[in-house]
Amino acid sequence: MASYLLTDRPIESIADYLAAGGGEGLARARAIGPDATIATIERSRLRGRGGAGFPTGVKWRGVASADPDQRRFLVCNAAEGEPGTFKDRALMRWNPYQLLEGIAIAAFAIGAEEAYIGLKERYAAELSALERAAAEMQAQDLLGDVPIRVVTGPDDYLLGEEKGLLEAIEGRPPFPRWYPPYLVGLYTDMPAGVGAGSAGWSEQANPAVVNNVETLSNVPHILAHGPEWFTEQGTPDSPGNMLFTVCGDVVHEGVAELPMGTPLAVLVHGVGEGPPEGRRVKAVFPGVSNAPIPDSLLDTPMDFDSMRAIGSGLGSGGMIVYDDSACIVAAAAVLSRFLAVESCGQCPPCKLGTDALAERFFLIDSGGGDRFTLDEVTAWIERVTDANRCGLGAGQRALAAGVLRLFGEEVIDHLGRRCPSDRVLGVPKIVDWDPDTGTFAYDEGYFAWRRA
């Protein structure tokens, strides 16, 4: 199936973009109007690529139908903080024009007053690509009438959590607020922390649509080619192509555009060329917030429902591969430590639970731990999501429960024993990609968490 998001070569000028059919999506949206534009996205069954797979058309319709007195906002989530993922930055570098056109279409469709792109301050290459492309498009009236502003924020994982991102856009640290963006969007007079444990808020207050970079990059193509073109690709429940990142213990790391429903083995053994010689795959972690997938399940199709059916998830399509030289307990320890450090602490069960789980996995990894330790792990898996404002605690639960469910024997064997592996594992926070050599550069700071 042909790539349409990451084409053969990068789109480096507005002339290149127009020659490749750029601009047709926004022109079509303007011709058919906001309501039919949303209907087109609904018919395409596009699902969000930021992690949860929520239907994009449903999200747009919910905000578009808010009381006309409400201000509406469109927010593009370009924070890309998931370890093992580089697809949004690849898209912004490769073709910033299609993202900007997608933002213009979405803002037009929902009747937004303003649109925002939120990304990390350290993503300098992406920021300059977006600014250059926006200036070129503006000069040719290809950005629509809704102003698009770029906001940068800190390197925190929570900058990518949609409610944390709204906080950052309003100039505060990215601590997730209680209500979802479709209820409480931007610039309301509601105190940021209101509502934890109180009666639910059901009115819409300046609602916002928050969509991922890849989700919005699909939009111009769907408008230009029609929803049927889109649903012909991928699976009935998860149409279209998706960008997948493969990293870790593979010969060739990279980002690939594949139809949804492609078996995970194609990514790991085809695109990634498999683990180094003499090694076999032990586990593939879809980011840090899903159950690891063992070698025996590599034929699972990469779509939202198939991944959920095996008790894992697609996440943002970033697959972290560990071969059989890695210890699953060490992997669980470093990934849980990442979640514990990034947890903001507004919900005590999340902060205490992620910390306790990381500590227990490190204890087992260092040769300690007994049955009682496993009981504590199980108890924290139950409690870590209590009264949570965001999905970080649920991600920790999925990761830890998945390790026990699928790799329970290895964890039990490890209790009270020195680790069979001498590898030091880190959290694969990708900072750069060299497609020619098939390698990623990682943030070395996340490889400093050695065994106790």
Residue numbers of the site for ligand SF4 (CB under 6 A)? 158, 176, 343-347, 350-351, 388-390, 392-393
CA–CA gap between residue 166 and residue 173 (Å, rounded): 10
The piece of 77-85, 100-108, 249-257, 264-272 that touches ligand FMN (CB under 6 A) is 77-85
Closer residue to ligand FMN (CB): 23 or 57 = 57
By a kind-dependent CB cut-off of 5 to 8 A, residue 77 interacts, out of ligand SF4, ligand FMN, none, with ligand FMN
Closer residue to ligand SF4 (CB): 158 or 425 = 158
C-alpha separations of 85 from 154, 290, 303, 306, 328 in Å: 18, 14, 17, 20, 20
Burial class (CB in 10 A: 0-12, 13-18, 19+), 248: buried
Provide the minimum distance between the beta carbon of 206 and ligand SF4 in the complex, in angstroms, as a whole number.
Answer: 21
By a kind-dependent CB cut-off of 5 to 8 A, residue 248 interacts, out of ligand FMN, ligand SF4, none, with none
Closer residue to ligand SF4 (CB): 47 or 389 = 389
Closer residue to ligand SF4 (CB): 186 or 350 = 350
CA–CA gap between residue 225 and residue 219 (Å, rounded): 10
Binding-site member from 38, 41, 45, 49 for ligand FMN (CB under 6 A):
49
Q: Residue 79, interface with ligand FMN (CB under 6 A)?
A: yes
Q: Count of residues binding ligand FMN (CB under 6 A)?
A: 23
Q: Residue 82, interface with ligand FMN (CB under 6 A)?
A: yes
The piece of 146-154, 208-216, 305-313, 421-429 that touches ligand FMN (CB under 6 A) is 208-216
Please report which helix (H) or strand (E) contains residue 165, including its range. Answer: helix 162-169
Provide the minimum distance between the beta carbon of 390 and ligand SF4 in the complex, in angstroms, as a whole number.
Answer: 3
Work out whether the CA dihedral 32, 33, 38, 41 comes out positive or negative.
positive
Contact 245, 319 (CB under 8 A): yes
CA–CA gap between residue 126 and residue 110 (Å, rounded): 26
By a kind-dependent CB cut-off of 5 to 8 A, residue 127 interacts, out of ligand SF4, ligand FMN, none, with none
What residues numbered 281-340 form the site for ligand FMN, per CB under 6 A? none
CA–CA gap between residue 226 and residue 297 (Å, rounded): 35
- Beta bridge partner(s), residue 242: 258
By a kind-dependent CB cut-off of 5 to 8 A, residue 51 interacts, out of ligand SF4, ligand FMN, none, with ligand FMN
Please report which helix (H) or strand (E) contains residue 304, including its range. Answer: helix 304-309
Q: Residue 39, interface with ligand FMN (CB under 6 A)?
A: no
Binding-site member from 22, 25, 51, 317 for ligand FMN (CB under 6 A):
51
**Taking CB under 6 A as the rule, which mask of x and - marks residues 147-176 in contact with ligand FMN?**
----------xx-xxx--------------
CA–CA gap between residue 403 and residue 437 (Å, rounded): 32
Closer residue to ligand FMN (CB): 82 or 355 = 82
Q: Residue 35, interface with ligand FMN (CB under 6 A)?
A: no
Q: Long-range CB contacts (< 8 A, 24+ apart) of 141-146?
A: 142/14, 142/22, 142/23, 142/26, 142/101, 142/104, 143/100, 143/101, 143/104, 144/26, 144/30, 144/104, 144/105, 144/107, 144/108, 145/108, 146/74, 146/104, 146/107, 146/108, 146/112, 146/113, 146/114, 146/115
**263 DSSP assignment:** B
To which residue do tokens 């694969």 refer?
Answer: 428
Q: Residue 102, interface with ligand FMN (CB under 6 A)?
A: no
Closer residue to ligand FMN (CB): 181 or 369 = 181
Binding-site member from 54, 232, 348, 420 for ligand FMN (CB under 6 A):
54
CA–CA gap between residue 371 and residue 221 (Å, rounded): 54
By a kind-dependent CB cut-off of 5 to 8 A, residue 52 interacts, out of ligand FMN, ligand SF4, none, with ligand FMN
Closer residue to ligand FMN (CB): 215 or 290 = 215
Q: Residue 84, interface with ligand FMN (CB under 6 A)?
A: no
Burial class (CB in 10 A: 0-12, 13-18, 19+), 124: exposed
By a kind-dependent CB cut-off of 5 to 8 A, residue 353 interacts, out of ligand SF4, ligand FMN, none, with none
Q: Residue 390, interface with ligand FMN (CB under 6 A)?
A: yes
By a kind-dependent CB cut-off of 5 to 8 A, residue 396 interacts, out of ligand SF4, ligand FMN, none, with none
CA–CA gap between residue 75 and residue 107 (Å, rounded): 9
Provide the minimum distance between the beta carbon of 376 and ligand FMN in the complex, in angstroms, as a whole number.
Answer: 24
Closest CA to 246 of 210, 278, 212, 270: 270
Cα 403 versus chain centre, distance: 21
Task: For the sheet with 73-78, list strands across it.
Answer: 148-153, 114-120, 73-78, 208-212
Closer residue to ligand SF4 (CB): 100 or 340 = 340
Residues making contact with ligand FMN (CB under 6 A): 48-52, 54, 77, 79-82, 157-158, 160-162, 210-212, 215, 390-392
